[in-house]
Amino acid sequence: MSFPRQSARTQRFTLGAPRSFRVADDGSRVVYLRSRGGEDPLGCLWALDLADRQERCIADPRDLGADDSRLPPEERARRERSRESAGGIVAFATDDQATVAAFALGGQLFVADLVAGDRRALAVSGAVIDPRPSPDGSLVAFVRDGALHVVGIDGSGERRIAGDDDPEVTWGLAEFIAAEEMDRLRGYWWSPDSRRLAVARVDTTPVQRWHIGDPAEPATAPVTLAYPAAGTPNADVSLFVVDLGGQLLDMAWDR
């Protein structure tokens, strides 16, 4: 097989290689992503227990029944900005001890017990983006419809804690400049005590709109995108600290 063909079939020799490592604070396990082989494009969640040096597949998208072909637009944009070409599980987050992991697959929220090896879907409505467990593993935060939500690790107590009704405003997502130019792909962070979160609020009202047609489907209506071209206004970004009850504190700084 020629080198160009091998490179294409293996996505530049990245398929099957471990990536996105997370080491438990106590050093007991390493959690990471990889597909099952060099030509398998679907990422799986794996854990390596260092005591017995046993690698376990925690979650395989083939077993979860989620449709990864229907991504929410925000998630599709996140993958484009991170140059993510694989499918399946492409990102995850854990608690401090790496005993619980959360990930989204086709917009559906999943949590995994990294000790027992169990995983399950949480019954939250809508398409979930960037789920992240709290440091103590009791809650999961996620973005849906441009607002930040939290839910119990058992699926109970779902609530919105930060959001606007304005479609031009998002909470908890990185704006274009942060993601594309600064390599910051996330827009919220848990406090160490799991009681608060720092959240980016992004208002794209000042950003110039571009209308992008599909050359392959010229009859399809153009997609409107907010893109801050050089010399034009960027999005208005502010930072807030929010507690679990939705109380917001504006972190004012000289922007």
What integer pLDDT is reported at residue 67 of this predicted model? 67
What is the chain's mean pLDDT, rounded?
89
**Model pLDDT, residue 188:** 98
Number of domains in the chain: 1
In a domain, 70, yes or no: yes
Contact of 103 with 45, CB cutoff 8 Å: yes
Q: Is the pLDDT of residue 66 over 80?
A: no
User: In this prediction, what percent of the chain has a pLDDT beyond 70?
Assistant: 91
CA angle 174, 125, 195 (to 5 degrees): 55
Query: What's the CATH code of the domain at 157?
Result: 2.140.10.30
Question: 205 lies in a domain?
Answer: yes
What is the reported pLDDT for 210?
Answer: 94
94 falls in which pLDDT band (50, 70, 90)? Answer: very high
pLDDT tens per residue across span 173-230: 999 899 888 989 999 999 999 999 999 999 999 999 999 998 988 898 998 889 899 9
Q: How confident is the model over 108-136, as pLDDT tens digits?
A: 999 999 999 999 999 998 889 999 999 99
Tens of pLDDT, residues 143-174: 999 999 999 999 999 999 999 989 999 999 99
In one-letter notation, the amino acid at residue 139 is: L
| Per-residue confidence (pLDDT) for residue 68, from 0 to 100 | 66
255 in any annotated domain: no
Q: Is residue 73 predicted with pLDDT exceeding 80? A: no
Query: 68-72, 115-119, 232-236, 251-255 — which is least confidently predicted?
Result: 68-72
Answer whether residue 106 is part of any domain. yes
* Any domain includes 7: yes
Residue 89 lies in a domain: yes
State which residues form the domain around 89: 3-250
Confidence (pLDDT) at 214:
87
Give CA–CA dist 155/178, Å, rounded: 31
Q: Residue 193: CB partners within 8 Å, gap ≥ 6?
A: 135, 136
- Report the C-alpha gap between 21 and 23 in whole angstroms: 7
160 domain residue, yes or no: yes
Q: Is the confidence at residue 7, as pLDDT, over 90?
A: no
Kindly report the pTM of this predicted structure.
Answer: 0.88
pLDDT of residue 150: 98
Asked if residue 125 belongs to a domain, the reply is yes
Predicted confidence at residue 4, as pLDDT, reads: 77
Residue whose entry in the numeric block shows the structure tokens 């879907």: 121
232 within 8 A of 208, measured Cβ to Cβ: yes
